[in-house]
Structure 1
């Protein structure tokens, strides 16, 4: 029996969006820490062990047992009744590692962050650490910093905590509070959380609460997978990719954790208390055969390594749980939709890009 599902929207966005953001907390009222930099030299400041900054776990932020299960040949996990909609297995970890290289090595020119830090950070918080690669790289860049990451799943095998690197697994970062002391963090980093956060206003408020007033910064990096055209119209031979993304948006909305990038992100950050919000946008071509610019070729190669290689399970991995659970599609329908989307991105000279 074939599932019936509504057609995705055909309207193509007219205005580009910007996705790498960093911001600074606004000044605090009298009687609380000021916005001005500390006069003390970093070496003379007290260094509280990172364990002392972690809150005693309460019902709202407590670690909870993670349940793994298999579905359609992929491994997923859930905590209580909250399922992570993307796979959590070696295939997905490899895809995330390629995306890490695409973002930080190519798109950001070997920068781990675009935020200009006033001093070397003493405490760094990574929300949704994934494979843990960003934290490992930051440990090398800032050997004196205490780096904590929170996520629901443990990092891959071989990625371990040590004296200054602390992976806190089985922590739901959508809970009302994070298990981190207020006003204790110099940099909050978060990347690729679209589809994981039900309420961005609350999420940014928690980040604001954790940062040092006046000097702490947040950096949020996202990929908007919406296919966009360099030409005036969207090419007919790419319709299957456009349809796939439309269904992804529908399904994630029904799941309560939208994949759509919020156009009002700057307003949400300001509403949480941040000031000096800035944006950096990078276009990622889907195909690189007709690209003359070296970086664009590398970006296109990264996209193809992430999504477009022969035998890729990336489209089905991103889609299977969402489409079967929230659009009532059969696994066969999902596989066919994803196969057609894969065929689109494997075309040699497609004038399409996504935004980072």
Structure 2
């Protein structure tokens, strides 16, 4: 997966946490770009759809904030999170789960867990679909999922603050000797190896929302570039640390059938709810208006649906063992 999705040229490096402040084009740029591209080739690169269901619980933490018609987790615990938690975004999360499992050749994890595993904690469980699938495969195990928004069927979330060093230190403390911790993260940047994702395109600016917004929130989105997963595990004391890098195609452009399927689902996840991903960062953190967000997302959808672009994002899975 990590090599076959790439095109001949070397991928441009994503902005890192040490880079200068990123510059985002305004809505006028995207409106003009859309007008320029109206008569160009717009061969479709549409992906497949998937259905899912979600449920919620009744508690005080369900006092979600509403931002321009979309709901977000409450401010309880001051744990800011950038994605919506409503039904539309929850369906997207289940699509993401599906293509990540496809990326791992149908596996839910890569860490070499024992068959008789007893206790599992899924941090950032989302809709709970990974935890539910794992529990189905391991009926003897107690599986607990936690998240900042209680959109799972029955679990009550704690206030989770994602300080990366503290996260892995707490994971180390909570893990039994001989147990494993696995982290799967994505770069927010859309890249290409054949220069189809050019500077100034909507695709090239997607990651900048999260990198710049994260700086203003005091939260990093350059997890892969800064190698925070491996560093955090090493500092916490984990051993036998293994790292796997993947390229996740967005769209059905790869020639490989497996990557076409993965890319189709990745496209579906983005196309279904671009606003749910970017609205908080663009509107609340960076101060964009609803119209500006709409214009940008319209141009990004146009690019995603065009066969001219060959975008992917980088994924990294890291796992390590607590010594016995």
Name the TM-score class by shorter chain.
Answer: 0.7 to 0.9
Mapped contact 1:208–1:273 kept (Cα < 8 A): yes
Cα gap change, 1:252 to 1:346, in 2 (>3 Å): same
Q: Tell me the residue number matched to 2:248.
A: 284
Residues 221-249 of structure 1: per-residue CA shift (max 9 Å, x gap) = 11223112122x45438722112321221
Could you list the runs of 5+ residues in structure 2 that have no partner in the other structure? 1-10, 16-58, 316-324
Report the counterpart of residue 168 of structure 1 in structure 2. 156
Inter-partner Cα distance in structure 2 for 1:108 and 1:73: 35
Specify every segment of 5 or more residues in structure 1 that has no aligned partner in the other structure, as ranges. Answer: 1-10, 16-62, 161-166, 175-196
Equivalent of 1:74 in 63, 70, 76: 70
Q: Deviations over 1:230-276 (max 9, x none)?
A: 22x45438722112321221012212222222422212210011111
Asked if the contact 1:12/1:234 (under 8 Å) is kept, the reply is no
Task: Say if 1:246 and 1:14 are closer, same or farther in 2 by CA, change over 3 A.
Answer: closer
In 2 relative to 1, CA 287–237 (structure 1 residues): closer, same or farther, beyond 3 Å? farther
User: Residue 90 of structure 1 aligns with which residue?
Assistant: 87
- Measure, in 2, the Cα distance between the counterparts of 1:285 and 1:276: 29
Q: Which has the higher helix share?
A: 2
Residues 334 and 272 of structure 1, relative CA distance in 2, 3 Å threshold = same
What is the aligned partner in structure 2 of residue 39 from structure 1? Answer: none
Paired residue secondary structure (1:218): strand
Looking at structure 2, the residues matched to 299 and 151 of structure 1 have their Cα atoms a distance apart, in angstroms, of 26
Relative contact order, higher structure (CA 8 A, sep 6+): 2
Between the aligned partners of 1:72 and 1:285, the Cα distance in structure 2 is 30
Bigger Rg over Cα: 1
1:91 Cα deviation (Å)?
0.1
Distance in structure 2 (CA, Å) of the matches to 1:118 and 1:136: 18
Classify 1:338/1:258 alpha carbon distance in 2 versus 1 (closer, same or farther; 3 Å): farther
Deviation at 1:322, TM superposition (A): 1.2
Q: Does the alignment pair 1:145 with 2:141?
A: yes
1:286·1:353 contact (CA, 8 Å) conserved in 2? yes
Q: Post-superposition shift, 1:154?
A: 1.7
Question: What is residue 188 of structure 1 aligned with on the other side?
Answer: none
How does the TM-score come out when normalised to structure 1? 0.68
Match of 1:101 among 98, 103, 113: 98
Tell me, in whole angstroms, the C-alpha distance in 1 between the residues paired with 2:150 and 2:12: 38
The CA RMSD over aligned residues, in Å, is: 2.3
Kept in 2: contact 1:287–1:349 (CA 8 A): no
Asked if 1:273 corresponds to 2:237, the answer is yes
How far did 1:124 drift? Answer: 0.5
CA contact (8 A) 2:73 2:148 kept: no
Take 1:268 and 1:283, find their aligned partners in 2: how far apart are those partners?
Answer: 22
Determine which structure has the larger strand proportion and give its number: 1
